[in-house]
Structure 1
Amino acid sequence: MLKLGVLGVGAIATVDYGVLPNLHHIKDKVQLVALCDPIRDRAAEAAKRFGAPEVYDSLDAMLAEADIDAVVNLTPIPAHGETSLAILRAGKHLATEKPLAATMAEADAIIEAARAGDLRVVCSPPNMLYPTRIEAARLIREGVIGKVAFAKIRASHGGPASMMNWPTDPTWFYQEGSGPLLDVGVYGIHEALGLLGPAKRVSAFSGITEPTRVVRSGPYAGKEITVTTDDNTLIMLDFGGGTFAVVDGTFNVNAAKGPRLEVFGRAGTLNLPNNINQNGGRGIDLFLLEAAGGLSGWIDLDLAHLEPAQRRVDGLRRALLADHLADLVAGTAPEVMGADVARHALEIMLKAHESARTGQALELETTFPW
């Protein structure tokens, strides 16, 4: 049983798809011991709601006093590096929201601390734990669509300010240290890496679409936000051998009808659905040049065998972070959301902005086992 502390009890911790409401699905693996948030009353309210016996307003205090094996780090993006490093140096396993850190130096230090302490690290997003993503990776790896030429991945949405009834002040999403590439583009990058392996080069265009945004609805409706970080980034990744991918990280996709993810191979095409949150992202569309008897066509894949795993994913939602960490600590599952992949994704995002500034394609220095 993994004894767990949770750092940060904001939206990703408490909304219906968040971590805390769904931990009960893995009560045989994880015991919630402590919640920590700088706003103690908020932590106390969440502890009462979700049955955590201990409350802290300081990470140092929780690490020193709570009887925990691991921490789920749900702090804002700029705080990930410092807090995750403190967690690991205290000898605790780590599950953290994306991205892994804000700088490559922080990411390197996290990996070194985990290695030195023989600790496990899990980093969101959890997309490559979804059954359809696992199946798509298998089909690509086994050559069903032939040599992959390129992939197109749409990870973006319209941004919190454009959404209906966003519950909190969305300003920080549009400020330095955040932005759509780190917030949503990271999902598409992790999917590209999970399907195609480590990338070798990155190039990008990036900029601010409009200098201000106005919150559309909800408690902050009408608030004007000054945009200080890029809100529109398009990335091209080079995987070597003539295999490429295009990934977007933007707050400008208010609606779209096409597939979320398309992979084009020399022998066929593989599509994954428009939204992983609609019907659990259950579908896979497969086109083969030699579908049957020399004829080309779309294949009706039987994915019934994925349904039990899909139902489990649907139930766990963001608690997949804690579930996967518990499995890694117990040695019952292979690593999927590890720190090496997350560091590679971070390098891609940081160098994408650099590429956009310099107009150059940049070599990537990190990698991960593949």
Structure 2
Amino acid sequence: MTDTVPTPVDHARLRLGVLGAGGIATIPEGVLPNMHHLAGEVEIVAIADSFHERAIEAAARFGIPAAYSSLTEMLASAELDAVANLTPIPAHAATSLEILEAGKHLVVEKPIATTLADADRIIELAASKGLTVVVAPPDMLYSPYVEAKRLVHEGVIGKVAFARVRSSHGGPGGGPQGWPFDPSWFYQEGSGPLLDMGVYGIHEITGILGPAKRVSAFAGTTEETRTVRGDGPFSGTVMPVTTPDNNLFMLDFGDATFAVIDGTYNVLASRSPKVEIFGRKGVINVITPGGPDLEIYRTDVAPGVDGWIAPNLYPQLQDERRAKLRRALLIAQLVDSLRSETRPTLSAEHARHALEIMLAVAESAKTGRVVELTTTF
């Protein structure tokens, strides 16, 4: 380990480097198109991508002064306080460790790594250098989840019995819209819907209920190949599926509180709530398509009457910052944490717990047994 110390941060304006110029960086809801909302707080000074032309194109499009062909080159040449690591899932650990070794604060896409050993190294290295790590997804910054957590912990729906969490879609390249990048890698070993999508539901329900204790799971592959749909440049591409594309699992939080979560590429459409939490005195629905962001069902909402409370007492939760920043909310979380000198809500420890759950899902599905969890946050 080197003795590199953190770069002093001018809290008036964070100098940010971006690693990766792919979809999560450039799509409309991604990081770069929404960074102008942080113009007074963050300056993007460099971008790097192993496909140098892609970095050059992104730099020209978003007014970034310098474009590099590697992380190593960017770290050596650019004056940075932090790096946003937007690389594909298999590259997260090695690149994050290099960023931290260089003494830079880190924002990294989900999941934090693909092994617990690498997640531990990231946490330990950041701590030893006094660096802050923010890990996607940003869901626990969104008002409906913050409010759901408050309501659960204040006992509004009584003791929680179980939750259902929807954390899937139809798979990259599986929709009628054109897919701008080759999505094949999402279906390969080292990626897949559990790491790509299941991570959202895991973060949401553990963010609301707290750390889980045990995992039981099923997993399998529904089809050996997938074909990219739509009219994009990769339309018709046949993609081998070498990792399970269908994961269903249960978390045990102790005290007879459970959650059922899906992490698949097999949900083409759904009208069910994103999260349903069932308590002894009521129910919380989070993000109902076509409805309010939050719904609550209460027993005895009036004498002798049970019913839904929405939107009168719990109106749709407006979150202007969320709407404006989209994925750039991750960068805002780093800025907020550095300014307040507090641990980020999107902590590396929470991300490590989510990763342990995902690894336990794979182990449980393979062995047919319940897997005990050891991490917390």
Tell me the TM-score normalised to structure 2 length: 0.93
More displaced, 214-223 or 226-235? 214-223
AA of the residue aligned to 2:220: G
Partner of 1:140: 152
Say yes or no: does 1:181 pair with 2:194: yes
Q: Which amino acid aligns with 2:119?
A: A
- Which residue pairs with 2:90 in the alignment? 78
Matched, 1:318 2:318: no
**1:225 is aligned to 2:239:** yes
For residues 150-204 of structure 1, what are the alpha-carbon distances to aligned partners after superposition, in whole Å with 9 as ceiling and x for unaligned?
0000010111131121222111111111100011110000001111000000110
**1:306, distance to aligned residue in structure 2 (A):** 4.0
- Which residue number in structure 1 is paired with residue 183 of structure 2? 170
Match of 1:255 among 263, 269, 292: 269
| Aligned partner of residue 162 in structure 1, secondary structure | coil
CA deviations 1:289-332 (Å, max 9, x no partner) are 1211231111124456942xx12101100001111011111116
Q: Is the 8 A contact 2:293 2:316 kept in 1?
A: no
- Count of aligned pairs: 362
* 1-structure distance, mates of 2:161, 2:100: 40
Equivalent position of 2:209 in the other structure = 196
- C-alpha separation between the residues in 2 aligned to 1:9 and 1:293? 57
- The equivalent residue for 1:4 is 16
Task: Give the C-alpha shift of residue 211 in structure 1.
Answer: 0.9
Q: 1:205-255: per-residue Cα shift (whole Å, max 9, x none)?
A: 001011111112222222211110000000100011111101100000001
Q: Any idea what SS the aligned residue of 1:357 has?
A: helix
How far does residue 51 in structure 1 lie from its aligned partner after superposition? 1.3
Alignment partner for residue 110 of structure 1, among 122, 128, 137?
A: 122
Question: Following superposition of structure 1 onto structure 2, how do residues 54-69 of structure 1 map, counting pairs within 5 Å?
Answer: 54-69=66-81
Partner of 1:265: 279
What is the aligned partner in structure 1 of residue 350 from structure 2? Answer: 341
**Off by >3 Å, runs of 4+ in structure 1:** 301-306
SS, match of residue 116 in structure 1:
helix
**Match of residue 304, structure 2, among 294, 314, 319:** 294
Q: What is the rounded CA distance, in whole Å, between the counterparts of 2:208 and 2:315 in structure 1?
A: 22
How many angstroms apart in 2 are the aligned matches of 1:20 and 1:161?
A: 22
Amino acid at match of 1:192: I
Shift of 1:27: 1.2
CA distance in 1, matches of 2:39, 2:314: 28
Pick closer, same or farther for the CA change 1:360–1:62 going to 2, 3 Å: same
What displacement does 1:47 show? 0.8
1: CA distance between counterparts of 2:83 and 2:134?
Answer: 11
Deviations 1:29-53 (A, max 9, x none): 1111110111222111111111111
What secondary structure, in the 3-state scheme, does the structure 1 residue paired with 2:173 have?
helix
Secondary structure of 1:21's aligned partner? helix
Aligned-partner SS, 2:300 = strand
- Cα 1:184/1:357, change in 2 over 3 Å: same
What are the ranges of 5 or more consecutive residues in structure 2 without an aligned counterpart?
Answer: 1-12
Amino acid at match of 1:237: L
* 8 A contact 2:293–2:317 mirrored in 1: no
Q: Which residue of 2 aligns with 1:50?
A: 62
Q: Structure 2 CA distance, aligned partners of 1:305 and 1:256?
A: 20
Identify the residue that residue 242 of structure 1 maps to in structure 2.
256
Looking at structure 1, the residues matched to 343 and 355 of structure 2 have their Cα atoms a distance apart, in angstroms, of: 22
Deviates more, 1:337-346 or 1:51-60: 51-60
1:213 corresponds to: 226
- Once the two structures are superposed, residues 314-359 of structure 1 have per-residue CA deviations (whole angstroms, 9 ceiling, x without a partner) of 1100001111011111116652110000000000001100100000
Q: Structure 1: where are the runs of 5+ without partners? A: none
For residues 53 and 182 of structure 2, the distance between their equivalents in structure 1, rounded to whole angstroms, comes to 19
- Give the distance between the partners of 1:53 and 1:303, measured in 2 at CA: 46
Q: Taking structure 1 as reference, are residues 220 and 274 closer, same or farther at Cα in structure 2, changes over 3 Å only?
A: farther
Once the two structures are TM-superposed, the CA of residue 62 in structure 1 deviates from its matched residue by 1.2
Residues 120-131 of structure 1 mapped to structure 2, 5 A cutoff: 120-131=132-143
Task: Give me the whole-angstrom Cα distance separating, in 1, the residues matched to 2:343 and 2:278.
Answer: 28
Is residue 328 of structure 1 aligned with residue 331 of structure 2? Answer: no
Q: Which residue does the alignment assign to 1:37?
A: 49
Counterpart amino acid of residue 328 in structure 1: S
| RMSD of aligned residue pairs (Cα, Å) | 1.4
- Mapped contact 2:295–2:314 kept (Cα < 8 A): no
Mapped to 2, the partners of 1:334 and 1:226 lie a distance apart of 41
Cα pair distance change 1:255/1:305, threshold 3 Å: closer
